[in-house]
Amino acid sequence: MKRTSIVILISVLLTVALSAGEGITESQEEGLLYMLEEEKLARDVYTVLGENWNIRVFSNIASSEEEHRSRVQYLADKYRLDYTILPPGDFVDPDLQSLYDQLTAQGLSSLTQAFEVGKAIEVLDIQDLDAMIAQDFPEDIEVVLKALRRGSENHLAAFERQLNR
């Protein structure tokens, strides 16, 4: 009886240890790191627009984007990915840096343009999340990606409501 319990315990520990060591592909790593910066981009743009226009939707969604970024950062840490989070408005990926600069300038030009920027960010986010969800990620990552997508759909709807006012 005692020996059976020890064998079961060892089996459970080995299963946990092996599953904890499972990794993700290089392409999946790149996707997660890109998503980490894309969520940061959304947060950073909405923070600037919120400070400029003093409209609650931007500050509310910026907070939500920070939560999204934190979820992806948790996954990056869990899968031991090497990454750097730069200060607000700065990005490792040069394409995201250019996009941030462009969207921020556009959003500061008028309130209507600011809401259009919000829509554009969320549409891009949904497209990128759909592409990632179509891949074969581990379940924990897939759950987060689907939650981020639902959040982006809600954000998109909020910006569309603002434009329809």
What are the sequence ranges of the domains in the chain? Answer: 26-164
CATH number of 26-164: 1.20.1260.10
Taking 70 as the pLDDT cut, the residues of the chain under it are 1-22
**In the prediction, which pLDDT does 8 show?**
37
Q: Which one-letter DSSP state was computed for residue 132? A: H
**In the prediction, which pLDDT does 5 show?**
38
**In the prediction, which pLDDT does 21 show?**
42
- Helix ranges, the chain (H): 2-20, 26-53, 56-78, 94-109, 111-133, 139-164
Q: What is the pLDDT of residues 104-139, one digit of tens each?
A: 999 999 999 999 999 999 999 999 999 999 999 999
**In the prediction, which pLDDT does 17 show?**
37
